[in-house]
């Protein structure tokens, strides 16, 4: 079974008397260990789709399974618990807490959801900060580091609880192209190191190239799929 499955998922937003369709009959499987992107123009439904996978919202119809659990019908509390235990999030605007240091920002999710003993917590935070090459900046405040560095910290923060899936809605939109590519490369490294599946959206074709699997979404519909040499051990050499 795929790590994430969407079966015939539709979502409409009710705006006054009008029902505004945002996703139309989307079915897609996302396998473990991919770097998977949803690409499409503004307003095509990317955020809606990621919000549904991330249990931030519920579909109007259809079925969504994440890591073996039906999530399309979860209530508020259950979806919050599921998010905390299974998912990590990276945001376009980084969303670091400005009064906390780099170290404290990464520690924060562990304080919120896990009762790891202090020494284990410290070890885990430092290990993740080293993995994203930010250990040397651990005592700085977000204001004292660059945008690219902030997003590295945000990647670390998403990873620290060891979720199977990290969702990122346009994580590179506030970065220049070179920095953006480095963030995607970092996701790939972290995927290899921790087995995390990354699902992100973008509308930047230069970023799309960096993904393993690209799903194109236009006007709420999935229009085409193309597999870019999944790093998985299907045995075949990569000729492309």
**Which positions touch Mg ion (CB under 5 A)?**
46-47
Q: Where are the beta strands (DSSP E) in 16-152?
A: 18-30, 35-39, 61-66, 69-70, 87-90
Q: What is the DSSP code (8-state) at residue 103?
A: H
Residue pair 89/201 in contact (Cβ under 8 Å)? The answer is no
Of positions 46, 86, 150, 152, contacts ligand ADP by CB under 6 A: 46
- Alpha carbon separation from 229 to 181, 191, 216, 234 (Å, rounded): 18, 15, 17, 10
Does position 69 interact with ligand ADP (CB under 6 A)? The reply is: no
Does position 15 interact with ligand ADP (CB under 6 A)? The reply is: yes
Give the interface size with ligand ADP as a residue count (CB under 6 A): 12
Q: Which range in 15-23, 59-67, 81-89, 127-135 contacts ligand ADP by CB under 6 A? A: 15-23
- Tell me the CB-side half-sphere exposure of residue 169, using CA atoms within 13 A: 16
CB of 218 to ligand ADP, least distance (A): 9
Of positions 37, 47, 161, 196, contacts ligand ADP by CB under 6 A: 47
Pick out residues in 111-150 that bind ligand ADP (CB under 6 A): none
d(C-alpha 33, C-alpha 23), whole Å: 25
Q: Which does 43 bind (CB under 5 to 8 A by kind): ligand ADP, Mg ion, none?
A: ligand ADP
Q: Where are the beta strands (DSSP E) in the chain?
A: 4-15, 18-30, 35-39, 61-66, 69-70, 87-90, 165-169, 197-202, 213-218, 221-227
By beta-carbon proximity to Mg ion, the closer residue of 46 and 152 is 46
By beta-carbon proximity to Mg ion, the closer residue of 145 and 168 is 168
Residue pair 161/111 in contact (Cβ under 8 Å)? The answer is no
CB of 94 to ligand ADP, least distance (A): 18
Applying CB under 6 A, the residues found at the interface with ligand ADP are 13, 15, 20, 22, 40, 42-48
């Amino acid at each position: 079974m795929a790590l994430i499955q969407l079966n015939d998922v539709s979502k409409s937003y009710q705006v006054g008397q009008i029902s505004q369709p945002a996703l139309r009959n989307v079915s897609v499987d996302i396998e473990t260990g991919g770097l998977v992107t949803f690409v499409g123009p503004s307003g095509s439904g990317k955020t809606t789709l990621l919000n549904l996978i991330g249990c931030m919202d519920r579909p109007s119809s259809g079925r969504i399974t994440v890591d073996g659990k039906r999530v399309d019908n979860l209530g508020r509390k259950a979806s919050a618990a599921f998010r905390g235990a299974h998912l990590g999030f990276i945001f376009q605007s980084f969303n670091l807490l400005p009064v906390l240091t780099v170290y404290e920002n990464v520690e924060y999710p562990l304080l919120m959801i896990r009762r790891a003993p202090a020494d284990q917590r410290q070890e885990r935070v430092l290990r993740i900060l080293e993995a994203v090459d930010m250990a040397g900046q651990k005592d700085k405040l977000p204001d004292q580091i660059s945008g690219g560095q902030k997003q590295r910290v945000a990647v670390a923060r998403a990873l620290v609880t060891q979720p199977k899936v990290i969702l990122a809605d346009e994580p590179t939109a506030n970065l220049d192209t070179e920095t953006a590519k480095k963030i995607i490369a970092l996701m790939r490294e972290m995927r290899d190191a921790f087995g995390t599946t990354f699902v992100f959206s973008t509308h930047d074709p230069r970023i799309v190239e960096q993904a393993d699997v690209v799903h194109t979404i236009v006007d709420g519909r999935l229009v085409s799929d193309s597999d870019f040499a999944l790093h998985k051990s299907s045995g075949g050499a990569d000729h492309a």
